[in-house]
A = this chain, B = another copy of it.
Amino acid sequence: MIVAKEYLQSYGIRPSTQRIAVMHYLLTHRTHPTVDEIYHELVEEIPTLSRTTVYNTLHLLYEHGAILALSIDEANVRFDGYTHPHAHFLCCGCGKVYDVDLDDVAFVQRNTPKNAATITEAQLFYKGLCNVCSAKRQN
């Protein structure tokens, strides 16, 4: 638990019991858990824990860069009629999704997971601010 506490503090996050528990869980379980998996594990040790707190804590950790968030599951999906290999760039300012050309289209195939028998899909995407939105924020 000491590691998780110090880890939180190094990111400028106040270490409450619940936050330490969530951070500790993520540091010791490399299973890429969902909110529900984290909640169900931790409610055993902290019976009063609420789902809301788990949501709050994960958002906080994510905003401070202490954890990564993966949106692999399909929900709130966008569609693309262009089926050739390319990456995507979501601008968080205007919400638009741009296509991105890759300098090495073989990269994705070359890095196929070693324990994979078949790959049905591969996606690379970026999030950030586009030039237009960035310029607007300078004002």
- Using a Cβ–Cβ cut-off of 8 Å, how many residues does chain A contribute to the interface with B? 76
A122 contacts B120, CB within 8 Å? no
Tell which of A30, A96, A113 has the most Cβ of chain B within 10 Å.
A113
CA distance A66 to B73 in the complex (A): 20
CA distance A30 to B71 in the complex (A): 22
What mask results when residues 111 to 122 of chain A are scored 1 for a CB within 8 Å of chain B, else 0?
111111111111
Q: Which residues of B contact A126 (CB under 8 A)?
A: 112-113, 116, 119, 121-122
A46 is an interface residue with CB less than 8 A from chain B: no
Residues of A within 8 A of B (CB): 23, 26-27, 29-35, 38, 58, 61-62, 65-83, 87-92, 96-104, 107-108, 110-135
Copies of this subunit: 2
Tell which of A33, A68, A135 has the most Cβ of chain B within 10 Å.
A68
Cβ 8 A contact of A70, one of B26, B80, B133, B135 = B80
CA distance A92 to B79 in the complex (A): 20
B127 contacts A119, CB within 8 Å? yes
Using A78-B69, A79-B70, A124-B123 as known contacts, say yes or no to A117 and B134 having CB atoms under 8 A apart.
yes
